[in-house]
Structure 1
Amino acid sequence: MTPSQTRRYFGIGLVAALIGAFGLVAEDVVEGETKTFDDAVLMSLRVPGHPEQPIGPNWLPEAVRDITSLGSYSVLTIFVLLVAGHLLLVRRRGTALLVVLSVVSGSIISTVLKTVFDRPRPALTGVAEVFTASFPSGHSLTSAVTFLTIGAVLASTTESMRQRIFYVGSAIVLTLMVGLTRIYLGVHYPTDVFAGWCLGSAWALGCFIIGNALARSRHLGDTTASLTSGRIV
C-alpha cells in the first residue's frame, strides 16, 4: 500500500468516526440524556443568580460576539468568495468549485438537520439574538466546513510541513473559537457545538478526499492520453 493510499484510507476512517460520534450525540440529545450536562456547563459560565449575564469583565461578551461573527453566514460567504476568487485567478477552477460546493452543501445540511431535530435554544436571554433551532450548531458546523476546507486546500499547495501545520492548525483554532463562543454566549448547548464540529469536520474532510480522488483520476487520464498520443506531459 502506498503512502497516498494509507492517507486516503485513514481519512475515510476518520470521516466515518466523526459521523459516528455525531450520531451518538444526536441520539443522546433526542433521548434527553445530555440535558443535565448541557445545563451544568452553561450555568457554570453565568453569573450566579443572573443567567442572562456571562461571567467575566464587562468587555468580554462584546469581544466574544465579535469572534462568534466569524462563523456567521455573511462573514463565511466573504471568506469563500475571496478564496474562490484567488483560486480562479491562479487557474485552479476545480479547487475553487470544490471549496464553494463543500461550503454550500454543508450549509444546506446544517439547515436540514436543524429542521429535523428542532431542538429549542437554551432559555437564556440578553446576550445574542438567534432565530433558528439549536441542534446542531450552525456556526460550529459551517465554520468547520469552511475553515477546514480552506486550510486543507492551502496545505495542499505547499511541500513545507511547517506551512501545512500552520494552515491546518489555524483552521482548527478558528473553528474551535467560533464553537466555544456559542457556548459562552449561551445560544447553544455544548452538545450542539460538539455535534456541529463533528459533522462539519467530516463533511470538509470527505469533500477534500473526493476532490483529491477526482483530481488524481483526471491527472492519470491526461497522462495516459498523452502517452498514447506520443506526447510527454
Structure 2
Amino acid sequence: MPEKLYRWFGRKEWPLVLILLAAAGALWAFVEIADDVVEQETGTVDKVLLRAMRSQTNPADPLGPRWLEEMMRDFTGLGGVGVLTLIVGAAVGYLYIMEKGRAALAVIFAVGGGVLLSTLAKTVIDRPRPDLVSHGSFVTSASFPSGHSMMAAVVYLTLAVMIARVRPRWRTKAYILLCAVLIALLVGVSRVYLGVHWPTDVLAGWTIGSGWALLCWGVTLWLQRRGEIEDDAD
C-alpha cells in the first residue's frame, strides 16, 4: 500500500500530502474542543487554569509583579487588529513591489479567511467571556475561539513559512518557524493571564488558526507547482 501511494503522489507531492494531513488534524482537534465547549464539559478545567494565574487572596490581581502584567499586555498586542493589519499590509505591499501580485492575494485570502472563520465561530457558539476575574484588556466580542490566538497563528505562521521556504539552511528555517510559534503561544497565554479568555478559547484559537494556515499553505504550494502563483524563490 505505501508503494502504491508513493507512485500515486510522487516524491515531490509528499510534503503537500503531509501539510494537508496536519491541517486536517488541527481542524479536527478544533471541532472536538468546540464540541466539548458546547456540551459544557470544559468548565472545571477552564476555571482551575484561569484561577491559577490569579492571586488566591485577590482574584482581580494577576500573578507576578506589575511589570509582568504590562509585558502581557504587550504580548497580547502582537495579536491585535492594529498590529496584525500593519504586518499584513507591509507583507502584501512588499510582495506587490516584488511583482508577486498573486502571492500577495494568497496572503490576503489566508488572513481574510481566518477573520471570517473566527467571526463565524464566535457567532455560532456565542460563549460568554470569563466572569470569574476582572478583565485586563478591553473586549466586545464573544469568547470562543480566541481571535487574538487564532489570527496570531494565521498571520505569523503564514509569513514565517513564506520566509523559511527561501532560506537554504534547515537551522534557519526551523528558527523562523519557532519564532512564529513562540509569538502565537505568547499571545494566547497573555489572553488567559489578562482574564479575557478561557484556556479552551485559546487552545481552540491555536488549533483552528494553525489548521487554516497549513491548509492555505498547502493550497498555495499546489498552485505554485501549477504555475498559477509566483514561487517564493522567484
> Under a length normalisation based on structure 1, what TM-score does the superposition of the two structures give?
0.91
Selected match of 2:89 from 81, 84, 88: 81
- Per-residue CA shift, 1:126-159, capped at 9, x if unaligned? 5222111100000011110000000011112222
The reply to whether residue 196 of structure 1 matches residue 195 of structure 2 is no
The reply to whether residue 163 of structure 1 matches residue 141 of structure 2 is no
- Per-residue CA shift, 1:81-121, capped at 9, x if unaligned? 11111112222222211111101110111011101100000
Per the alignment, in what secondary structure is the counterpart of residue 218 of structure 1? Answer: coil
Inter-partner Cα distance in structure 1 for 2:135 and 2:120: 27
Q: Which residue of 1 aligns with 2:53?
A: 45
Instruction: Give runs of aligned pairs for residues 206-225 of structure 1, distance below 5 A.
Output: 206-218=215-227
Q: Report if the CA contact (8 A) 2:16-2:221 is conserved.
A: no
Q: How far has the Cα of 1:17 moved from its partner?
A: 0.7
Instruction: Give runs of aligned pairs for residues 19-58 of structure 1, distance below 5 A.
Output: 19-58=27-66
Inter-partner Cα distance in structure 1 for 2:191 and 2:135: 14
Per the alignment, in what secondary structure is the counterpart of residue 192 of structure 1? Answer: helix
Per the alignment, in what secondary structure is the counterpart of residue 41 of structure 2? Answer: coil
Inter-partner Cα distance in structure 2 for 1:168 and 1:126: 31
Q: Which residue of 2 aligns with 1:222?
A: none
- 1:120–1:126: structure 2 CA closer, same or farther, 3 Å change rule? closer
* Gapped regions of structure 1 (runs ≥ 5): 220-233
Q: Report if the CA contact (8 A) 2:150-2:208 is conserved.
A: yes
Q: How far has the Cα of 1:3 moved from its partner?
A: 3.6
* Bigger relative contact order (CA 8 A; separation at least 6): 2
* Gapped regions of structure 2 (runs ≥ 5): 1-5, 229-234
Q: Which residue of 2 aligns with 1:150?
A: 159
> Under a length normalisation based on structure 2, what TM-score does the superposition of the two structures give?
0.90
Inter-partner Cα distance in structure 2 for 1:107 and 1:149: 14
Q: How far has the Cα of 1:160 moved from its partner?
A: 2.0
Inter-partner Cα distance in structure 2 for 1:52 and 1:172: 29
Instruction: After the TM superposition, list the runs of 4 or more consecutive aligned residues in structure 1 that deviate by more than 2 angstroms.
Output: 1-4
Inter-partner Cα distance in structure 1 for 2:191 and 2:71: 12
Specify the code of the residue in structure 1 equivalent to 2:226: S
Percent of paired sites with the same residue: 40
Specify the code of the residue in structure 2 equivalent to 1:171: A
Q: Report if the CA contact (8 A) 2:129-2:196 is conserved.
A: yes
Q: Which residue of 2 aligns with 1:224?
A: none
Q: Report if the CA contact (8 A) 1:119-1:134 is conserved.
A: yes
Selected match of 2:150 from 96, 119, 141: 141
- Per-residue CA shift, 1:142-189, capped at 9, x if unaligned? 110000000011112222212211221111111111011111111111
Inter-partner Cα distance in structure 1 for 2:74 and 2:117: 25
Specify the code of the residue in structure 2 equivalent to 1:53: D
Note the aligned Cα RMSD (angstroms): 1.4
Quick check: 123-132 or 15-24, which moved more?
A: 123-132
Aligned length, in residue pairs? 220
Q: Report if the CA contact (8 A) 1:106-1:142 is conserved.
A: yes
Inter-partner Cα distance in structure 2 for 1:191 and 1:158: 35
Quick check: 75-84 or 93-102, which moved more?
A: 93-102
Per the alignment, in what secondary structure is the counterpart of residue 61 of structure 2? Answer: strand
- Per-residue CA shift, 1:4-42, capped at 9, x if unaligned? 311111111111111111011111111111000000000
